[in-house]
C-alpha cells in the first residue's frame, strides 16, 4: 500500500529521531510528502491563540531539527506548529485535513506512577485516526522482560 501523505508527530522526545526517520523513509520509498507537526498544548486558562513565546521557540526548534533529520527535498516536506487544548484530537484533525495515509508517532518508555502508560494522546490517536498509525516506542532499560514460556506453553 503506498503512503503518499504521511504525518509525523514530534514532541521534543528522544523518539522523535526514529519517528521522523521512519516517516521520511516511508515517503521517500513512495515519492510522497511528509508533514511534520508539533502541537503546543495550551492550558484552558489561556486563550487558544495565546503567544506562549518559550513553547513556540521550542516547537520551531524541534521542527527545524526534524526537517534536517528527514533529509528530504524541500518540496517533499512541510512542517507546522499547532496550538490546541489536547494533542490527540489536534493530530487526528490534521490527519483528516491533510488526507493522510498514515500517522507516525513515537514515545519513550512512558511511565505513570511507575507503571507503563501511553497517557491519553496516543490511545486517542490509535482509536480515532482515519488512517494507519505507526507507533514507535523507544527501548528502555526500565522495560520488564516478558516471561518466557516453552513452545508447548508450559514454564
**Residue 148 placed within a domain:** no
**Residue 126 placed within a domain:** yes
* Mean pLDDT (the chain, rounded): 88
**Residue 94 placed within a domain:** yes
pLDDT top residue among 23 and 109: 23
Specify whether the CB–CB gap between 106 and 138 falls below 8 A: yes
Neighbouring residues of 25: CB distance < 8 A, sequence distance ≥ 6: none
Percent of the chain with pLDDT over 90: 66
Strand partners, 106: 136
Residue 141 is predicted with a pLDDT of 57
pLDDT band at residue 119 using 50, 70 and 90 as cut-offs: confident
- What is the per-residue pLDDT across 93-107, written as a single tens digit (0 to 9) for each? 999 999 999 999 998
- What is the per-residue pLDDT across 45-94, written as a single tens digit (0 to 9) for each? 998 989 899 999 999 999 999 999 999 988 999 999 999 999 999 999 99
Q: In total, how many domains does the chain have?
A: 1
Strands 5-10 and 102-107: parallel
Residue 108 is predicted with a pLDDT of 79
Would you state the cell numbers that stand for residue 105, as one nine-digit string?
508517532
The CATH code of the domain that includes 106 is 3.40.50.620
**Residue 105 placed within a domain:** yes
Boundaries of domain holding 15: 5-137
pLDDT top residue among 151 and 40: 40
**Residue 39 placed within a domain:** yes
Amino acid at each position: 500500500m503506498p503512503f503518499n501523505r504521511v504525518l509525523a508527530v514530534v514532541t521534543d522526545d528522544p523518539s522523535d529521531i526514529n519517528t521522523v526517520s521512519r516517516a521520511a523513509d516511508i515517503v521517500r520509498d513512495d515519492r510522497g510528502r511528509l508533514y511534520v507537526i508539533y502541537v503546543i498544548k495550551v492550558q484552558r486558562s489561556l486563550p487558544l491563540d495565546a503567544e506562549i513565546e518559550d513553547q513556540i521557540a521550542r516547537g520551531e526548534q524541534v521542527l527545524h531539527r526534524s526537517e534536517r533529520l528527514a533529509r528530504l527535498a524541500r518540496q517533499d516536506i512541510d512542517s507546522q506548529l499547532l496550538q490546541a487544548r489536547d494533542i490527540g484530537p489536534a493530530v487526528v484533525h490534521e490527519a483528516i485535513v491533510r488526507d493522510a495515509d498514515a500517522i507516525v508517532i513515537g514515545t519513550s518508555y512512558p511511565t505513570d506512577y511507575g507503571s507503563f502508560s501511553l497517557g491519553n494522546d496516543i490511545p486517542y490517536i490509535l482509536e480515532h485516526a482515519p488512517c494507519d498509525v505507526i507507533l514507535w516506542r523507544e527501548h528502555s532499560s526500565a522495560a520488564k522482560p516478558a516471561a518466557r514460556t516453552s513452545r508447548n506453553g508450559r514454564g
